[in-house]
A and B are shown apart, each in its own frame.
Chain A
Amino acid sequence: MSDTLVEIKNLAKSYTRGDQDVPVLRDITLNIERGDFISLMGPSGSGKSTLLNLIAGIDKPTGGILRIDGEDISKLSEGELADWRASNIGFIFQFYNLMPVLTAYENVELPLLLTNLSRSERRERIEMTLNMVGLSDRMDHYPNELSGGQQQRVAIARAIVTDPTILVCDEPTGDLDKQSASDVLNMLKELNSTLGKTIIMVTHDAHAAEAARRIVVLEKGELLGEGV
């Protein structure tokens, strides 16, 4: 029996520029199973990042259905959506998006501040997560004291520390050297296979896309097809 986590049906997104409607996504229908690892590929302007933003709940569709774990997130208010993201989504960005004035420990702590965990519970989780990404000896380092690969690992720790259902990754290896990129992809694969995290990754890089179980290709806002 299939266990659909993300249900996308005839999804559309357009922006208004002046008095013109500019469609970015058209008639997208796609299901993502729980525990899947999917790569969204396509040229620039194909709408892959927009689709990722919609699934992550940081943008709203202009048409169609978007259900995640049975919940139509397009119906949630802005505040409800913020709470939903805090407990369901882990973000990994191309440029890591760490707070430069906070240490690795404090960066990982950020999403936990939105939970009801006590300080000692938070500490336990942060230490465990930073240990998982191999940075237990870098907890007190600021982002500018870490390499790109290490910063992305801190970002991964921040993304998984709340144990979210879905990890959304926007070009997670785009700013990394070959070795660091490979480490990050291995880490994502590990999170998918051992912890069962559902991962949706946008990438330009065909090599990075191979880390996924499925590859979905978009072009000019439409779904071209998918492969394994």
Chain B
Amino acid sequence: MKIPFSYIFRNLWTRKLTTTLTAAGMGLVVFVFAAVLMMDAGLKKTMVGTGTLDNVLAIRTGVETEIQSSITRDQAGLLEAMPQVARSKAGEPMISKETLVLISLIKSGQEKGSNVVVRGVSPMGIALRPQVTLVQGRMFRSGASELVVGRNINGQFDGAEIGQTLRFAQREWTIVGVFDGGGSAFDSEMWGDVEQLMQAFRRLNYSSVILKLAQAESFDPLLKEIAADVRLTIDAKREQIFYEDQSRALSLFISILGNVLTVIFSIGAIIGAAITMYSSVAMRTAEIGTLRALGFRRPSILAAFLGESLLLGLVGGLAGLFFATFLQAITISTLNFQSFSQLAFSFTLTPKIVAQTLLFSMLMGFVGGFLPALRAARMKIVDSLRAA
């Protein structure tokens, strides 16, 4: 393009108010677009971070969630004996038989109850989750009606703080510690001793079994072994994949809702950009004629005006993105449709989202600016010069 960038930039700068208002409109759309992507990325990060690379999660065939699943003690025992399961230094199989129940708790300051996951874990279950660290109090004791709560539960629900007690399954459960799940879905759970929880809820079967693979490549042989044993009506998935699948429905919901909002808003922003650019073309008709007379060709004029609207889009995009970065400080808590439990996650900004957002804002600029730029490029020189 031969028309200098300074001409493009300064023309936008000269019309400060119009440029600011149009860019603000685009920035608002970009903000919504970025927020949706950040929400989705935060959700995925939380769910994927819940799984560990060489952990395998086993649930009953045909179900999708741990809540729906049931694994007998015999089945758990068969899994425990498999050679693909890693052994601890003491020679114990690195496997955790777990139970999951949902209880309804009242959110602080609200009257409505929300479902919270209570996970019964064995001591090995804690060792299998290296991302989980105790940040306050102490770990629950085996054989005691004690619970530790994730950092997104602590203080968010009535009775969920250290020293307080919760009553469910006809028992009083004392909160003895707070753990940090490293941004994973465990942050939205409460953990207790698996045997105590099974007794309290009168359960005979586990919900799921988590095991650590002896070697990363042991996964396929493990699947084959499970498939070969008719007693094992079990589906095994890598833990990360399992939790990623758990977020699919919520992720889809966020994407659809966000995209619908973004499309509706973006139509408004594109029309705004088009009006701005049409008025810019109308105000500069004589300039267009002069540039053409000097020897600039139609494509140069097209490129100059398109460049201006792309720049307008970029300014809006950067503004929207700037405000979207502040969302990272916010953690939202919502119902995960698949597990029917509360899940807290943060807005997460990734380089991919930055690139997608800026491309989207420039696309709005391009769409809004194309027809005005085409009009500018198609003007007859003689007619445009008459506008002087």
Q: Which residues of A contact B (CB under 8 A)?
A: 53, 56, 58-59, 78-79, 82-83, 85-87, 89, 91, 93-95, 97, 99-102, 106, 109-111, 113-114, 158
A-B contacts, 11 of them at CB < 8 A, read A53-B382, A56-B293, A58-B381, A59-B382, A82-B296, A87-B295, A91-B290, A95-B388, A101-B14, A106-B7, A110-B4
Residue of A nearest to B382 (CB): A59
Are A93 and B388 touching (Cβ within 8 A)?
Answer: yes
Q: A102 touching B294 by the CB < 8 A rule?
A: no
Q: Mark B262-289, 1 if CB is under 8 A from A, else 0.
A: 0000000000000000000000001101
- The residues in B between 343 and 388 inclusive whose CB is less than 8 angstroms from any CB of A are 381-382, 385, 388
Is B297 an interface position by the 8 A CB rule? yes
Q: How far is the CB of A109 from chain B (nearest CB, A)?
A: 8
- Number of residues in B with C-beta < 8 Å to the partner? 25
Q: Is the CB of B6 within 8 A of A114?
A: no
Determine the chain A residues whose CB is within 8 A of the CB of B6 once the complex forms: 101-102, 106
Whole-angstrom distance between the Cβ of B3 and the nearest chain A Cβ: 8
CB atoms of B297 and A82 under 8 A apart: yes
Q: Are A113 and B4 in contact (CB under 8 A)?
A: yes
Docked complex: B294-328 residues within 8 A CB-CB of A: 294-298
Q: How many residue pairs bridge A and B at CB < 8 Å?
A: 72
Q: In the complex, which residue of chain A has the Cβ closest to the Cβ of B8?
A: A101
Q: A86 near B298 (CB under 8 angstroms)?
A: no
Chain A residues with CB under 8 A of B11: 101
Q: Do residues A101 and B10 form an inter-chain contact, with CB atoms below 8 A?
A: yes
The smallest beta-carbon distance between A117 and chain B, in angstroms, is: 12
CB distance from A68 to the nearest CB of B (A): 15
- Whether A58 pairs with B292 at a CB distance below 8 angstroms is yes
Minimum CB distance partner of A114 in chain B: B295
Task: Knowing that A56-B293, A101-B7 touch, tell me 14 more A-B residue pairs with CB under 8 angstroms.
Answer: A78-B297, A82-B292, A82-B295, A85-B294, A93-B290, A95-B388, A97-B388, A99-B287, A99-B291, A100-B287, A101-B14, A106-B4, A110-B294, A111-B294
Known contacts A82-B292, A101-B10, A110-B294, A59 near B286 by CB under 8 Å: no
What distance in Å separates the Cβ of A131 from its nearest Cβ neighbour in chain B? 21
Cβ 8 A contact of B294, one of A59, A79, A86, A100: A86
Which A residues are in CB contact (< 8 Å) with B167?
Answer: none
A86 CA to B14 CA, complexed, in Å? 28
Specify the main secondary structure of chain B where it touches its partner: helix
The verdict on A91 contacting B294 (CB below 8 Å), with A99-B287, A102-B6, A114-B2 known, is yes
* Complex contact A114–B14 (CB within 8 A): no
| Binary flags per residue of B10-39, CB closer than 8 Å to A gives 1, else 0 | 110110000000000000000000000000
A94 and B388 within 8 A (CB): yes
By a CB distance below 8 angstroms, the chain A residues around B382 are: 53, 58-59
- CB-CB < 8 A to B10: which residues of A? 101-102
The residues in B between 195 and 253 inclusive whose CB is less than 8 angstroms from any CB of A are: none
Q: Considering only CB atoms, which chain A residue lies closest to B299 in the complex?
A: A79
* Complex CA distance for A128 and B13, rounded to whole angstroms: 30
A113 touches B388 (CB 8 A): no
Bound-state Cα–Cα, A93 to B294, Å: 12
Q: Which residues of B contact A56 (CB under 8 A)?
A: 293
For B297, what are the chain A residues with a Cβ–Cβ distance below 8 Å?
78-79, 82
> Which chain A residue shows the least CB distance to B386?
A49
A106: chain B residues within 8 A (beta carbon): 4, 6-7
CA distance A106 to B10 in the complex (A): 12
B13 surroundings in chain A (CB, below 8 A): 101
Which residues from A are CB-within-8-Å of B295? 82-83, 85-87, 111, 114
CA distance A87 to B293 in the complex (A): 11
Please indicate the chain B residues that have their CB under 8 angstroms from the CB of A100 in the complex: 14, 287
> Which residue of the partner chain, among B3, B290, B298, contacts A97 with CB atoms under 8 Å?
B290
List the 3 closest pairs (A to B, CB-CB), nearest first.
Answer: A86-B295, A101-B10, A97-B290
Find B286's partner among A97, A101, A110, A158 (CB 8 Å cutoff): A97
A97 to chain B, nearest CB (A): 4
Q: Across the two chains, which residue of chain B brings its CB closest to A59? A: B382
What B residues does A95 contact at CB under 8 A? 286, 388
Q: Which of B4, B291, B381 has the most CB of A within 10 A?
A: B381
**B residues near A97, Cβ cutoff 8 Å:** 286-287, 289-290, 385, 388
